[in-house]
């Protein structure tokens, strides 16, 4: 076998197969697929936290074979973003993956994913990618083109029955779901609740950038979202509810890139709470980190939960 077998020191410790090339990945999955095994894919950029682990656990529980991809995808980073300093710790990631019962970790080098001559893009247009992150000087639609292109490649390389995404990037999940539906990928997209620190901060690999003082201020994001949700469900007009959230952020000295309410499925603008679920999403720089978080308000469904709902999940 030409697979790297990563196994920690003692023989009781778990092991996982690491695959670097897509041809090798295809060979490894050929037999399981033929045998009708249910394959789960968890795409990650590594530096795993409990949010990732919750996806791996769900995949392990629902599928016969779990593939985790580990690839810091350069095409979804903007020119001014943190590609170079994005945190990496492959050894630890492999250990955690093994412990979570992952069967294969697909961790290709950049040139395996984007060889010379690469020229194809998968793009979702419309409000789904043009709002919130839509300012091209920040991230914008080109960020999502990077996401949809690499996810399309991963879906084709792995051929999973289910692919798992986190609700923390609600917009990414909605964009991927749209792409999968539009291009008829034979896969179910599962979106799992955001996992939070005890004080409410959404788990993120980028939390590693936070010094203690910033870490403390960062909790204002989830507090702001809770304020918006509580005010809106309490009967405040949406604009007033959002202002309550802005006040929470301001109190922590945080100026958001956006704090907006959007239709949870189409991302169209919403003026007032109605029958359809509304997503309130925030992005803000906190110290050296750009953090995001969101909350779903679903008046028809017990108001929605800060950390356990997902828009349009199958």
Q: What is the DSSP letter of 101?
A: T
24 belongs to the binding site for a second copy (CB under 8 A)? no
The answer to whether 34 contacts a second copy (rule: CB under 8 A) is: yes
Q: Whose Cβ is closer to a second copy: residue 111's or residue 184's? A: 184
Q: Which is nearer to a second copy, 89 or 130 (CB)?
A: 130
Active site residues: 52
Out of 7, 14, 22, 101, the only residue in the binding site for a second copy (CB under 8 A) is 22
Minimum distance from CB of 270 to a second copy (Å)? 17
Touching a second copy, residues 114-133 (CB under 8 A): 117-126, 128
**What is the 8-class DSSP label of residue 79?**
T
Q: At what angle do helices 140-158 and 170-182 cross, to 10 degrees?
A: 60
- Beta 188-192 vs 289-297: how paired, if at all? unpaired
Cα 289 from chain centre: 16
How far CA 314 is from CA of 56, 177, 188, 209, 304, in Å, comes to: 18, 10, 8, 34, 16
Closest CB 184 distance from a second copy, rounded Å: 4
Residue 171 within binding range of a second copy, rule CB under 8 A? no
Enter the tokens of residue 175. 């964009």
In the bound state with a second copy, the residue whose beta carbon lies nearer, of 22 and 215, is 22
Residue 216: which H helix or E strand, with range? helix 212-218
Residues 176-205 within binding reach of a second copy (CB under 8 A): 178-179, 182-186
Q: If we measure between CA atoms, which residue out of 266, 268, 264, 270 comes closest to residue 297?
A: 264
Q: Which residues of this protein are in contact with a second copy, per CB under 8 A?
A: 22, 26, 34, 36, 117-126, 128, 148-149, 152-153, 156-157, 159, 178-179, 182-186, 266
């Amino acid at each position: 076998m030409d697979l790297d077998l990563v196994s920690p020191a003692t023989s009781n410790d778990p092991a996982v197969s690491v695959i670097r090339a897509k041809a090798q990945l295809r060979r490894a999955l050929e037999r399981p697929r033929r045998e009708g095994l249910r394959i789960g894919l968890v795409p990650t950029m590594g530096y795993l936290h409990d949010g990732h682990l919750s996806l791996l656990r769900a995949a392990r529980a629902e599928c016969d074979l779990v593939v985790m991809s580990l690839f810091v995808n350069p095409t979804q980073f903007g020119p001014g973003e943190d590609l170079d300093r994005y945190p990496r710790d492959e050894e630890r990631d492999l250990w955690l993956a093994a412990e979570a019962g992952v069967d294969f970790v697909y961790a290709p080098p950049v040139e395996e994913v984007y060889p010379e001559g690469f020229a194809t893009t998968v793009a979702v247009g419309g409000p789904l990618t043009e709002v919130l992150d839509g300012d091209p000087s920040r991230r914008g639609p080109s960020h999502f083109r990077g996401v949809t292109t690499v996810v399309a490649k991963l879906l084709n390389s792995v051929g999973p029955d289910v692919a798992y995404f986190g609700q923390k990037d609600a917009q990414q999940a909605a964009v991927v779901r749209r792409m999968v539906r539009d291009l008829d990928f034979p896969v179910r997209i599962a979106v799992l609740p955001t996992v939070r620190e005890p004080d409410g901060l959404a788990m993120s690999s980028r939390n590693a950038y936070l010094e203690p003082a910033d870490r403390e201020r960062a909790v204002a994001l989830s507090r702001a979202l809770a304020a918006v949700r509580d005010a809106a469900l309490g009967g405040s007009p949406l604009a007033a509810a959002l202002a309550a959230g802005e006040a929470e952020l301001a109190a922590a000295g945080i100026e958001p890139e956006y704090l907006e309410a959007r239709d949870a499925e189409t991302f169209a603008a919403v003026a007032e709470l109605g029958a359809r679920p509304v997503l309130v999403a925030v992005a803000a720089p906190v110290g050296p980190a750009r953090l995001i978080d969101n909350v779903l308000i679903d008046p028809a469904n017990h108001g929605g939960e800060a950390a356990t709902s997902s828009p349009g999940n199958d």
